[in-house]
Chain A
């Protein structure tokens, strides 16, 4: 099977902190990465001091930030699914799963990256993770791509143990930071934290994945 990675997250910037370094390493090696981003992050809260945007103009900003972020880590295939921030869990899960499955069947990815269901805090994250798991469960076992999940709920290790993969992304850290900085309307605090807090910097140099077992 050719390597092809499919990343599925609900919000522009979900890929930035936990996965951007891994993506940059893959695209450096010439592995194609497709990103399905479900919403425009319309309900983001950071408006700035003084405010540089409004509830109504934020989506356009976040749209172009995501384009920049994709460039930073070498993603050339971005697919926006057109859902609305905070509403993914109320949409028909089977329809969302079918749309994801359609992309899976088209690309035949070797690996899918999304959140871990039950351990990803935000309701949109959970709904995305559940839809991906549901989509893959419809495939015969021998044609299922690997599913690597990001988890950050406080009870993660109690529930699913330590991460199966801890990927050191020091070699592409500048590009990871470029990705985080591309989302600057929402990540100002994170950029400062990584630049000023050594523990945060160390944490950001590693990316953690739990392999989902069906």
Chain B
């Protein structure tokens, strides 16, 4: 993955406008968050292979970055994104890694279902 540059990522987001695509959206502070620190709530959520269609959307922020994708009746939103990749299967992978290199948030778009 590469550090995000808005001018590189925005055109890739736009390639998916108006198509049925598959979404992986995840945020996590790790299954051991509370085990490691009792004051911290273990909070993890993901959706994998949600079928969505958005006809507008942006990546914004000074870095880390935010992405908002407008779907028919609502929004897809992620904050804290730091790295991106258009992988060999043509999937847009966006992720936010913390200071220890751990994934904290991921937003991924694919024309084919994720495995």
Contact = CB atoms under 8 A, between A and B. Distances in A.
A121 B87 contact: no
Contact of B102 (A47, A56, A121, A124): A47
B101 A46 contact: yes
Given A47-B95, A49-B97, A55 B35 contact: no
A17 B109 CA distance: 36
Interface string A32-46: 000000000001011
Interface stretch (B12-20, B24-32, B61-69): B24-32
Interface string A43-75: 101111111001111010000000000000000
Contacts of A121: 31-32, 35
A55 B32 contact: no
Q: Which of B24, B32, B102 has the most CB of A within 10 A?
A: B102
B31 A56 contact: no
A122 B26 contact: no
B28 A45 contact: yes
Contacts of A122: 31-32
Nearest to B32: A121
Interface string B71-87: 00000000000010101
B1 interface: yes
B106 interface: yes
Contacts of A51: 1, 83, 95, 97, 101
A163 interface: no
Nearest to A11: B31
B48 to A, nearest CB: 9
Contacts of A50: 1, 83
A123 B32 CA distance: 10
Contacts, number: 63
B52 interface: no
Q: What range describes how many residues of B lie at the interface?
A: 20 to 34
B93 A54 contact: yes
B103 interface: yes
Contacts of B38: 154
B26 A45 contact: no
Contacts of B31: 86, 121-124
Contact of B35 (A43, A45, A59, A154): A154
Given A46-B102, A48-B101, A86-B44, 18 more contacts: A43-B46, A45-B28, A45-B102, A45-B103, A47-B95, A47-B101, A50-B1, A50-B83, A51-B1, A51-B97, A55-B24, A55-B95, A55-B106, A56-B114, A59-B115, A123-B31, A124-B31, A153-B35
Top 5 nearest A-B pairs (CB, nearest first) are A49-B101, A45-B102, A51-B1, A122-B31, A45-B103
13 contacts: A45-B30, A45-B103, A46-B101, A49-B97, A54-B85, A55-B24, A55-B93, A56-B87, A56-B115, A121-B31, A121-B35, A154-B38, A189-B100
Interface of A: 43, 45-51, 54-57, 59, 86, 121-124, 153-154, 189
